[in-house]
Amino acid sequence: MRPKAASLYFVIARYQETVFTSDNHYAQWQAVPAEDRSDAPAWWWDTALAAIDETATMPVEWCATLGVADESTYAKGAEVFRNALVGQTYLPQSENFPRKS
């Protein structure tokens, strides 16, 4: 098991890579109408699982992007990703993101 500090560092790094880069994949995906949107990308699984029990609070900007209350935990943010992945029957390829092909 990873030490708590190492775990938090890993979670923050995964969030930054997945959502809060200059590309802002989550915002791009959310901007596509639901009927045209691809399934959530496979690269979100790691983020969704890494923070499942992380109690540290996210920066307010990240909370706003994910649509959760200010000062929500990383676990609450991970719930957003898990909910996006629920019920998927396939994992889209990167060229089919954020729209269906």
Residue 5: its pLDDT value, please? 47
- Rounded to whole angstroms, the Cα distance separating 61 from 20 reads 10
Q: Is the pTM of this model over 0.85?
A: no
User: pLDDT tens string for the chain (101 positions)?
Assistant: 444 545 666 677 766 666 665 567 777 888 889 889 888 877 777 777 778 888 889 888 888 888 999 999 989 988 988 888 888 777 777 777 778 76
For 21-35, letters b (16+ CB in 10 Å) and e give eeeebbeebeeeeee
Residues pairing with 37 in the sheet: 99
